[in-house]
Amino acid sequence: MDIIVDGYNVIFKISELGYTTEKCDIEVLRNRFLAMLEQYKEKRKHKLIVVFDGQGAGNSTEIRPAGIDVVFSRQDLNADEEIKRMVSSSDNPRHITVITSDRDIEQYVKRYGCKVVDALAFYRDIKKKVEYIQAGDKGDSRSKKEEDDEPLCKYLGPSKSEAKYWLDVFSRKSGKSTDD
């Protein structure tokens, strides 16, 4: 089974990551979300593709260490159109689940037989699974705590790229190099 995630649509539904770019740099939000998905993906065998609006220089794909494909849409397409293109060109769209709260995408992909999961429902599911995995790894009962007691980012910490970003920001202000 393939899972295609409407990246920014999901990110902006998760209050723990931040609602707007005013609260936090969009790259940081993206990296927090991808770090959470990496922990989720460690125990899953299905293919996970996260689609974001492009960065202006054509279609680019990045494969994260956990096997997550990160796709930035082409300059002439937005993420919605890229997701629709992926589904319509798939050999077996009935084996695709699309994660989005966008009604236009939902209606389009359902015509191809795709399953659609709401962004917040997907997030709650991932959050529970990540907490369960972490509790299993640590041998404690953290998975039994209430779902909204603590923000997930408290347990995830920064990703490597997020840490590098902040090191770069602070080194520019202090004039120090981060090549220690």
Q: What residue numbers bound the domain in which 162 lies?
A: 2-174
The pLDDT tens digits of the residues spanning 110-130 come to: 999 999 999 999 998 888 887
Give the predicted TM-score (pTM) of the model.
0.69
> What is the C-alpha separation between 13 and 46, in angstroms, rounded?
23
Q: With bands split at pLDDT 50, 70 and 90, how would you rate the model's confidence at 7?
A: very high
Has residue 52 been placed in a domain? yes
Non-local CB neighbours of 98 within 8 Å, separated by 6+ positions: 3, 4, 5, 6, 83, 87, 105, 106, 109, 114, 115, 116, 117
Domain count, the chain: 1
89-93, 131-135, 144-148 — which is least confidently predicted?
Answer: 144-148
> What is the C-alpha separation between 106 and 55, in angstroms, rounded?
24
Token code pair at residue 103:
């009604």
Has residue 12 been placed in a domain? yes
Has residue 46 been placed in a domain? yes
Going across the sheet that includes 96-99, the strands are 60-63, 68-72, 47-52, 2-6, 96-99, 115-117
Mean pLDDT of the chain: 78
54 versus 52: the higher-pLDDT residue is: 52
Has residue 180 been placed in a domain? no
Has residue 179 been placed in a domain? no
DSSP designation for 160: H
Has residue 169 been placed in a domain? yes
